[in-house]
Each structure stands twice: as structure tokens, then as C-alpha cells.
Amino acid sequence: MVLVIIRTAVIFAVLLVVMRLMGKRQIGEMQPFELVITLLISELACIPMADTSIPLLYGVVSVLAIFVLHEGVMLLDLKVKPLKGVLSGKPAVVINKNGIDDYQLKKNDLDVSDLIESLRAAGYFSLDAIDYALYESNGTFSALPKADYERMQTSLPLVIVDNGRFDGKNIALTGLGRPYFEELLRAHGVKNVRRVLVLTADGGGKCYLQQKGERFTTFHVQYPHGATW
């Protein structure tokens, strides 16, 4: 029985560390330790239930051990502040006044497309429409929009360059071709596309450009032949 309790605690600790290392993308609205408990508890309850050669007591003891571990972690989470960050993680500010924080994105196993997807899900289509965006420790996404953000979202911005690579599908949607955007980047001082973290362009001609490790810029362009989307 002591063996079952210790083994349960070991697996709990290992899963908790792995979940924390996996980053926020894997969590989805649960604290890491809550997800670990959800993962474990069903298996712990089911195995002795289905396999009659294992005493049912093993399942009961494991589930009770999980309960004690949960209460212990909750207690540490509430009472020991420095441990809160270790156990549950901290919110990651992925967009600030300077634009996208590439380091924070990488730290949480996310990329620019994930961020833009989260923004769209939250109702923000334009990167410059928000001042701050955060991935909370439970994996949910929060954003603080600019006061007049609705005015900034008049057309759907398409991702033209994502982390140093042109997005061929989106470029095809614009109908402008890759050379046009290469020239656009050169005109804004970008020598190598690999240096670009993100370039978006909306149908109204508004572009959002951020080079790696630099502050973002927005500018307006007139598309040739009155192109729009």
C-alpha cells in the first residue's frame, strides 16, 4: 500500500514536471496539476475495475493518494508564493507595446501562427489592435485591446511572412506575388526575410512588420491595380 502511494506520487510528480515543460499549449483551461490529476484519476480508477487480478483497494488507495497530493499542491499553491510559479506557471506576456515577444512565444512552445489564431479566437484580427496579450498559466488567452481597436479592424490581415518564411497560400490570396512583398520589405529596410518575425497585410493596404528582436512598425501601402481582399 505504501508502495502504491509512493508510486502514485512519483508518477504525479513526473507528469506535473512534463506538463509544465510542455508549455501552455498542452494545458487548455486547467492548471498543470489539475490536468495531471485528470489524466491520472481515470486510469487509476479504471485499471483495478477492469482487471480483476488487481485488488480494488489499489485503485481506492491510488485515488485517495491523488486526493492528498492535490490538497498538498493546492496548499503550497496558496501559502507559498514562490512555489505558485513553479507549480502552476506564470502568465506569459506575448504581445506588449513593442509588439510580439518572440522569446516568450518560444518559451511556451508557441509560434506566430498560434498567436494570431488565439487573437482571432478572442475577436482581434489585427496585431496592432491590441496593446497586450497574455497566455495565462492555465493556457487561456487574454488580450487588452487599444481603445479604438474596432476602427483598426476594417479588413482581414493575412500573414505574409511568418517567422522568416513567406506564406505562399496567403500571398496567392492577395494576388500580388512574392516579388511585390520582397520589394516592400526591401523598401522598409529588411535585407533578409529570415530577419522578419511577422509581416501581415490587410486588404486596405495596412501592413504590420516586426523584425526579430525589434519593435514593430505599421505602414500603409497602395496595392498595384487597386488590389484588395
- Residue entry with cell 495531471: 36
Grid cell for residue 65 = 493518494
| Closer CB to other proteins, 51 or 109, in the complex | 51
Closest CB 40 distance from other proteins, rounded Å: 16
d(CA 22, CA 28): 12
Select 6 or 172, whichever has its Cβ closest to other proteins: 6
Residues 22, 29 contacting (CB under 8 angstroms): no
Task: Please state, in angstroms and as integers, the Cα–Cα distance from residue 161 to each residue in 25, 139, 143, 144, 157, following that order.
Answer: 22, 26, 23, 24, 12
3-state SS, residue 93: strand
In the complex with other proteins, the residue whose CB is nearer, 1 or 18, is 1
- Is 87 or 122 the residue whose CB approaches other proteins more closely? 87
- Residue placing its CB nearer to other proteins in the complex, 3 or 121: 3
Q: Least distance (Å) from other proteins to the CB of residue 75?
A: 8
Cβ-based nearer residue to other proteins, 69 or 152: 69
Minimum separation from the CB atom of position 19 to other proteins (A): 21
**DSSP conformation class of 32:** H
CB 163 within 8 A of CB 197: yes
Least separation in angstroms between CB 65 and other proteins:
7
Q: Which residues bind other proteins (CB under 8 A)?
A: 1-3, 5-7, 10, 52-55, 57-58, 61, 64-65, 67-68, 71-72
Residues β-bridged to residue 196: 211
Measured CA to CA in angstroms, residue 189 lies from 15, 23, 199 at distances of 47, 34, 13
Shortest distance (Å) from residue 32 CB to other proteins? 20
Is 68 or 187 the residue whose CB approaches other proteins more closely? 68
Helices (H) and strands (E) in the chain, counts: 9, 9
- Fill in the DSSP letter of residue 31: -
Query: CB 67 → other proteins: shortest distance, Å?
Result: 6
Record the cell numbers describing residue 224, joined without a space: 498595384
Alpha helices (runs of H) in 95-148, residue ranges in sequence order: 102-107, 112-121
| Smallest separation, CB 216 to other proteins (Å) | 49
